[in-house]
Structure formats: structure tokens, C-alpha cells
């Protein structure tokens, strides 16, 4: 009888120790648990998140990207897309400054013909730039010119 009680006591002791270990590990886990800091909602691309400041300039769309490469290949040797004069004037804001879109088509296709026609704006800019004739681009389609202008418009001004 006494043997049985002793064994029971030992078994109970072991059980208690096991419970204690489980309890302590559990408590340690609970104490060390840190919930992840809540992830702030990321603002959508192109927006500022706070919505109080002006949105960043929109990325160039496909047409303006085409315009950018046309500009770099054909015009950048003489023109910046900003305000700086290279050989010719910086073309920032050109859509607002030039007499019309039609004028721009004609000028870019053959500026000498525009100057020769007696066009006032054309002669003024030609004289201002020491009568350096601008290269003609008869092969640029109007839609290519539209793309270049879209790219230039995206530069602001
Ligand atoms: C070889 C140099 C040269 C190249 C290349 C050139 N330009 Fe010009 N461009 C000029 C010069 C110089 C003027 C100033 C007017 C003049 O002297 O005929 C001018 C004037 C202009 C103007 C009028 C600017 C204004 O302020 O009103 C526009 C628009 C223009 N260029 C567009 C273009 C575009 C678009 C291209 C490319 C497709 C191009 N140019 C390529 C030299 C060049």
C-alpha cells in the first residue's frame, strides 16, 4: 500500500514539474510576443498620401514616351526641353508660345518655307537666333510632332 502511495506521489511530482515547465514557457512566449506594428496604408502611386500637397507630375504616357525618344533623336542636338538655349531656344512651353499647332507642323516640316512666306512669328524667332536656319523634318508625321509636343508639354511651362 505504502509503495503505491509513494509511486503516486512521485508521479504527481513529475506531473507538477511538467505543468510548471509548460506554464513558464507559455508565460515567456506571451511576454516576448510583440504584435507587428500596423502597416500604414501605402499611398497609391502618383498621390502624396496626405492629399494636402500637389500630386507628383504624372509619369509620361506611351505617346509622350514616343515623343521623348523622337525629341532626343531629332531635336535635342539644338534644343533643350527646358528653358536653356542650345542652338535654338529651349522648347518648354512651346505649345502656348507658338502661333498654332498648324504653325508648328509647318515650321518643323520646313522652317525656311515659313520664314520665306513672311510669317511674322517665324521671322522674329529666325532673326533672334541670328538667322540660323533650323533643320527641316519633312518625314515627321503630324502625329510624331503631336507626340513631341505632348512630351514637351509634360515638362511644364
Ligand atoms: C540644327 C539645329 C536644330 C535642330 C536639329 C532642330 N531645331 Fe528647332 N530651331 C533651331 C533654331 C536655330 C531655331 C530658332 C529659329 C531659327 O533660327 O530658325 C529653332 C526654332 C524652333 C522652334 C520655334 C521656337 C520658339 O521659341 O518659337 C520650334 C517649335 C522648333 N525649333 C522645334 C524643333 C523640333 C520639334 C525639332 C526636332 C524635330 C527641332 N526643332 C530641331 C534649330 C534646330
**In this structure, which residue's CA is closest to atom 13 in ligand 1?**
88
pLDDT in tens, 88-120: 999 999 999 999 999 999 999 999 999 999 999
64 Cα to the center of ligand 1, angstroms: 19
Was domain 63-153 assigned CATH 3.10.20.600? no
pLDDT in tens, 139-151: 999 999 999 999 9
Q: What is the structure's pLDDT at 23?
A: 61
Bigger pLDDT: 110 vs 51: 110
What band does 51 get if pLDDT is binned at 50, 70 and 90?
low
Residues 55-74 have a mean pLDDT of 88
Q: With CA atoms as reference, report the closest residue to 56 among 71, 65, 43.
A: 43
- Give the model confidence (pLDDT) of 3-19 as tens digits: 777 887 767 766 676 66
Q: Say yes or no: CB of residue 101 within 6 Å of ligand 1.
A: no
Q: Is 63 in the pocket of ligand 1 (CB under 6 A)?
A: no
pLDDT over 90 percentage in the chain: 61
Cβ of 68: how many Cβ atoms within 10 Å?
A: 20
Q: What is the pLDDT of residue 17?
A: 61
User: DSSP string spanning the chain?
Assistant: -HHHHHHHHHHHHHHHHHHHHHHHHHHHHHHH--PPPPPPPPPPTTS-SSSSSPPPPPPP-HHHHHHHHHHHHHTTTTB-SSS-BSSS---TTHHHHSS-HHHHHHHHH-HHHHHHTT-HHHHHHHHHTTT-PPPP-TTS-HHHHHHHHHHHHTT--
Q: Distance from the CA of 111 to the center of ligand 1, in angstroms?
A: 8
Instruction: Look at residue 69 in the predicted model and tell me its pLDDT.
Output: 98
For the chain, give every domain's residue range. Answer: 63-153
CB-ligand 1 contact for 76 (6 Å cutoff):
no
Task: Check residue 1 and give its pLDDT.
Answer: 65
Amino acid at each position: 500500500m505504502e509503495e503505491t502511495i509513494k509511486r503516486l506521489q512521485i508521479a504527481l511530482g513529475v506531473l507538477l514539474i511538467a505543468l510548471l515547465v509548460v506554464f513558464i514557457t507559455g508565460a515567456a512566449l506571451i511576454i516576448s510576443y510583440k504584435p507587428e506594428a500596423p502597416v500604414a496604408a501605402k499611398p497609391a502611386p502618383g498621390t502624396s498620401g496626405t492629399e494636402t500637397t500637389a500630386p507628383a507630375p504624372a509619369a509620361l504616357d506611351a505617346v509622350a514616351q514616343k515623343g521623348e525618344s523622337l525629341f532626343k533623336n531629332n531635336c535635342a542636338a539644338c534644343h533643350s526641353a527646358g528653358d536653356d538655349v542650345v542652338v535654338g531656344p529651349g522648347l518648354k512651353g512651346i505649345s502656348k508660345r507658338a502661333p498654332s499647332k498648324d504653325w508648328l507642323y509647318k515650321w518643323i516640316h520646313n522652317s525656311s518655307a515659313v520664314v520665306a512666306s513672311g510669317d511674322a512669328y517665324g521671322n522674329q524667332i529666325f532673326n533672334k537666333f541670328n538667322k540660323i536656319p533650323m533643320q527641316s523634318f519633312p518625314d515627321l508625321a503630324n502625329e510624331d510632332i503631336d507626340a513631341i509636343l505632348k512630351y514637351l508639354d509634360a515638362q511644364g511651362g
